[in-house]
Amino acid sequence: MAIYILESSSRKTGYSAQAAQAAISIFEAQGAAYIYDRAISLNVAYCLACDKCISEEVECSVKDDMLGVYANLIKASALLFITPITFSSVPAQLKAILDRGQRFYNRPLKREAKIPAYFIAFGGAKPYKEQFEIYPLQFKHLLKNIDAWQAGALNFAHTDAYGPRLSDAAARQIQALALQAAGS
């Protein structure tokens, strides 16, 4: 069992990556096991809608890095999704992963107890109504189908006005969320 971090920025040193490092520093200090995946480093193709995953004998007919993501989601004790906002939703590399969640739609996980999912999102624009409304909906089916629930979220707006580094205040909020995740 480990906390599974899935981060989905296309920038290797952007705010999502820095947020992941801030959370990892807490997990390491707490001795909490974690796995860190970056969507940009994974080779995940689109769902073919072949429905072969209905059979328990086939995890997925597409043999790529999503097989590892399935395994990480299955063995997770808690989830931490860190994502930029793109066009008011999630980046394409994350959407491909969420669509491959069809495997769990076809064969939902049933755990002894639901696991908590935490979200951290960065929107570059000044705050606007739907800036952080759409992305949680994109995760709705996955969370339900892997027996997880949304336990917390931090949304940071107007990040395009930040300098190259996350502010200390933002890092502290992220570390507080990570502490919660480590204790769950």
111 binds ligand FMN (CB under 6 A): no
Helix (H) or strand (E) holding 80: strand 76-84
- Residue linked to tokens 């994109």: 138
Is there binding between residue 16 and ligand FMN (CB under 6 A)?
Answer: yes
* 108, two tokens: 């939902």
Contact between 93 and ligand FMN by CB under 6 A: the answer reads: no
The nearest distance, CB 125 to ligand FMN, in angstroms, is: 3
The window from 62-70, 82-90, 111-119, 136-144 that contacts ligand FMN (CB under 6 A) reads 82-90
- State the DSSP H helix or E strand holding residue 4, giving kind and residue range, or none if neither: strand 2-7
Task: Count CB-CB contacts under 10 A for residue 16.
Answer: 27
Q: How far is the CB of 70 from ligand FMN (least distance, A)?
A: 24
Least distance from ligand FMN to the Cβ atom of residue 98, Å: 17
Residues linked to residue 3 through DSSP beta bridges, in sequence order: 34, 78
Q: Beta strands 148-156 and 34-38: pairing type?
A: unpaired
Binding positions for ligand FMN, rule: CB under 6 A: 9, 11, 14-16, 84-88, 122-125, 131, 159-160
